[in-house]
Structure 1
Amino acid sequence: MVGDAWTWLVFFFFLIFLVAMLVFQLVCLTDLELDYINPYELGNKINGVIVPEFITYGVLCFLFLATRHLVMFLLGVPLLYYNFILYRKRHHLIDITEIYNKLTKEKTRRFIKLGYIMFILFMCLFWMIYNILEEHD
């Protein structure tokens, strides 16, 4: 099935985009820690990419479900639920008045999300390579 390899490629690019957004957030938090930017700039930069990150991840999970890749969808559901809970409780945005008190927690949260996305990325890469090799047989 030629279309399946292309589908995995689309998933791969979605995941690379998510990794880039999380790395950007981690770099911004590190810049604040090293006093290269002020909290107001940090808030503007990170808060501008959090909702697109959540939407991108939600679309990716929907695509997993729509293309009937149920294992990948089930792997993605915990982070999707976590993002939903953060959004519902309004804890998804950076509070610039409390950022110095929560800096370690925010960095840790993003590192865990990055590790989880990297796991899903490697699973996606495995299935993409598997499908490409399966087509040549």
Structure 2
Amino acid sequence: MGYLYAWLISFFFIVALLIIIVWQLMCLADLEFDYINPYDSSSRINRAVLPEFIVQGVLCLFYLGTGHWVMSLLSVPYLYYNVNLYLRRQHLVDVTEIYNMLKWEKKQRLFKLAYLIILLFLSMFWMIMAALDEHDYE
């Protein structure tokens, strides 16, 4: 039953990451359509960046701790990209350059969204397999 709970917890971590990324994309879309000013948009996005990085790091460590090596290896490129952005101090959106970087920021987050959707489907697959294995032992 432990494997099922581990996959369920990882599923919720990935869903939390998806919510954070979609929130950032909504803020960028609001800025693009001029529903919000650049200062509010960048401050909302910047408030969500560090929680995204922390949840991704915890998810990768969770996969390592539970022994799901393949999923951990699949999570490492995303974690590496986030750490690299943080170390180069490019993780925050600059309010003065947000219009110039709008297309790049949207592409970046759409790529993250696609990557997380793939991880979500893999996590759901392994969660279903773990549930079926538990059902076979009963």
The TM-score with structure 2 as length reference comes to 0.98
Q: Report the CA distance between 1:44 and its aligned residue.
A: 1.1
Which residue in the other structure is 1:114 paired with? 113
Alignment of 1:3-42 (within 5 A): 3-42=2-41
Which residue in the other structure is 1:128 paired with? 127
- Give the 4+ runs in structure 1 shifted more than 2 A: none
- Give the match's secondary structure for 2:93: coil
Number of residue pairs matched by the alignment: 136
- The residue identity in structure 2 corresponding to 1:79 is Y
For the aligned residue pairs, the C-alpha RMSD in angstroms reads 0.4
The TM-score with structure 1 as length reference comes to 0.98
Alignment of 1:72-111 (within 5 A): 72-111=71-110
Q: Percent identity?
A: 53
Which residue in the other structure is 1:49 paired with? 48
Q: Which string of whole-angstrom CA distances, capped at 9 and with x for unpartnered residues, describes residues 80-117 of structure 1?
A: 00000000001000001001000000000000000001
Note the residue ranges of structure 2 that are not aligned, 5 or more in a row.
none
Cα distance in 2 for residues equivalent to 1:136 and 1:68? 21
Note the residue ranges of structure 1 that are not aligned, 5 or more in a row.
none
Cα distance in 2 for residues equivalent to 1:57 and 1:81? 10
